[in-house]
Structure 1
Amino acid sequence: MKSFDKTEDFKLDLPRRPRRMRRTASLRAMAQETYVRVEDLIAPLIVKEAGEKEPVGSMPGLYRLNIEGLVAECRELADLGVPAVAIFPNMDPDLKDALGSEAGNPDTLTLRAVKAIKAAVPEISVITDVALDPYTTHGHDGVLNEDGSYVMNDETVRRLCEMAVLQAEAGVDIVAPSDMMDGRVGAIRAALDTCGHIDTAIMAYSAKFASAYYGPYREAVGSAKAAGTTLLGKETYQMNPANRREAIMDALMDEEEGADFVMVKPAGAYLDIIRELRDASEVTVAAYQVSGEYAQIHAAAKLGWLDYEKTRDESLLAIKRAGADVILTYFAKEVATKLKG
């Protein structure tokens, strides 16, 4: 048996060597397939009624802002080229009840915030959440039955239609039902069109999973303590993290009902869903990099376990590579600042 000659000149006969295109920065740039642009980013923002800005402890760099501060933040984001913001209210607990009645108030916090933004920063698109959880004492996304054991679907959808019309009347560009009730996209589309808001778009939270990654957000909007105080878990309306086919089915149903965007939430743990939905859907695909994803990068970087900036950027690149057209992310402002140089 012939032994291996360590002194013999050794060369592989390879017609293709992928490393050729990795050799220098300029070659790598020419071969790069995916980019995150400022135009891909949507900034979620938290608005409160009054007072100085308040930091959210579990989400470094995120603040609850009063309307004046919110408008100023939108001005900065627009100047950076960020195309849209998504507004979420931190409601006064005294305004909450079991039905989420404050959501139907034409002068509620969110609607005043929308009007202020559109008056001062008309070029930025405003997205508003269509769900009852910020307004309910129980922290769930809809109207409960008498014993509090179930969110009633059709009764909730009726309330969501009312919310969406009020938001459109306030000047919002995109309403975003995040409740995961059956049939709500079609009902909202019909309600908007009937009331003359044919140009108001719908961003459907189509594959919103019952995820453990939402905890810091619930602190930010003040629903953390409320969630789970009844016998009901959100698993009865949010999606089972184990289900892929169901996620695509729900999203395509939303598209058929008139959604202009379909969304996957969370993003990082569901890249396979984003990819499959991008391949199956004809409309714009959004992905929400949620509070837990943001918080864990900050936490690991603070402990010195990860490089903060590189991990942040890689996480967004992975979401874009998976097929997301737009990304809702709490990193939007700092990434836009970096990209603008």
Structure 2
Amino acid sequence: EPVQQACKLIKAKYPELVIITDVCLCEYTEHGHCGVLQNGCTVNNDETLPLLAKVAVSHAQAGADMIAPSNMMDGYVKAIREALDAAGFNHIPIMAYSAKFASAYYGPFRAAADSAPSAGDRKGYQMDPANSDEALREVALDIEEGADIVMVKPALAFLDIVQRVHETFNRPLCVYNVSGEYAMVKAAAEKGWIDEKRIVMETMLGFKRAGAKMIITYHALDVAKWLQGK
């Protein structure tokens, strides 16, 4: 498996790095959905859970320092937490993709990774962008099941959700600044329409202002350079 092999190689060469792995099934299935399909069109949530737990344990065995399940199955955090604990990895934290919306902002990544579902969509298990109350319920469930860090994804169009999660729950909060958000900035910068550095840093400040303690972003290398004054 590529993720497990990568974990082992990275740990061997750069033992000081913290490795966080995405646990999902979509990249390993022909249909592109995040779980086991039944009747060719519906994801079977309960049959998917033990597979996710098995993958999570294999990542920890390969050297992952944190597990970040992104599949949005009901009960996924509990299943993974119990499996990690049973395998002796009770010290491995879980960063749950707690409020993950069925969004058009994932488009560039899905095109690059060829990971879009071959039929249907993910609205059955990812969230409706119009429903903010559901996001808080999902976050609460993940915390109850053992999530150490919770996430809102995408970030830019959902800063109201970020702020509500920050104000409601006493948990470290991560935002995922996804490919569509990144691509729009890069495309506009290439056209000369915006000041890329100022736009990106203003966006990062917006994430922090809304309550994010961690930011996952494709802009990371540029932000690190700019913060160093380069």
Same fold (TM over 0.5): yes
Structure 1 gaps of 5+ residues are 1-107
Match of 2:8 in 1: 115
Secondary structure of 1:235's aligned partner: coil
- Distance, in Å, in 2 between the alignment partners of 1:242 and 1:287 is 18
Q: 1:54 aligns to what?
A: none
One-letter code of the match for 2:197? E
Instruction: Report the counterpart of residue 215 of structure 1 in structure 2.
Output: 107
The amino acid across from 1:257 in the alignment is E
1:147-226 alignment, distance < 5 Å: 147-224=39-116
Gaps of 5+ in 2: none
* Pair 1:319-2:183 in alignment: no
**Aligned residue identity for 1:279:** E
Partner SS state of residue 30, structure 2: coil
**Structure 2 CA distance for aligned equivalents of residues 221 and 129 of structure 1:** 14
Relative to the length of structure 1, the TM-score reads 0.66
Q: Which amino acid aligns with 1:205?
A: Y
CA–CA distance in 2 between the matches of 1:169 and 1:286? 25
Number of corresponding residues = 229
Question: By percentage of residues, which structure has more helix?
Answer: 2
User: What do the CA deviations read for 1:91-124 (whole angstroms, capped 9, x no partner)?
Assistant: xxxxxxxxxxxxxxxxx11101011111111122
Return the index of the structure with the highest Cα Rg. Answer: 1
Q: 1:265 aligns with which of 145, 148, 153?
A: 153
The equivalent of 2:124 in structure 1 is: 236
Alpha-carbon displacement from aligned partner over 1:278-297 (angstroms, at most 9, x marks no partner): 11112110000000000000
- The structural deviation recorded for 1:216 is 0.9
Give the ranges of 4+ consecutive aligned residues of structure 1 lying more than 6 Å apart after TM superposition. none
Q: In structure 1, what is the Cα distance between the partners aligned to 2:218 and 2:15?
A: 22
The 5-angstrom pairing of residues 1-341 of structure 1 reads 108-145=1-38, 147-224=39-116, 227=117, 229-230=118-119, 232-341=120-229
Per the alignment, in what secondary structure is the counterpart of residue 61 of structure 2? helix
Distance in 2 (alpha carbons) for counterparts of 1:313 and 1:111 = 34
CA-based RMSD: 0.9
**Which secondary structure does the structure 2 equivalent of 1:187 belong to?**
helix
In 1: Cα distance, 2:27 partner to 2:15 partner: 26
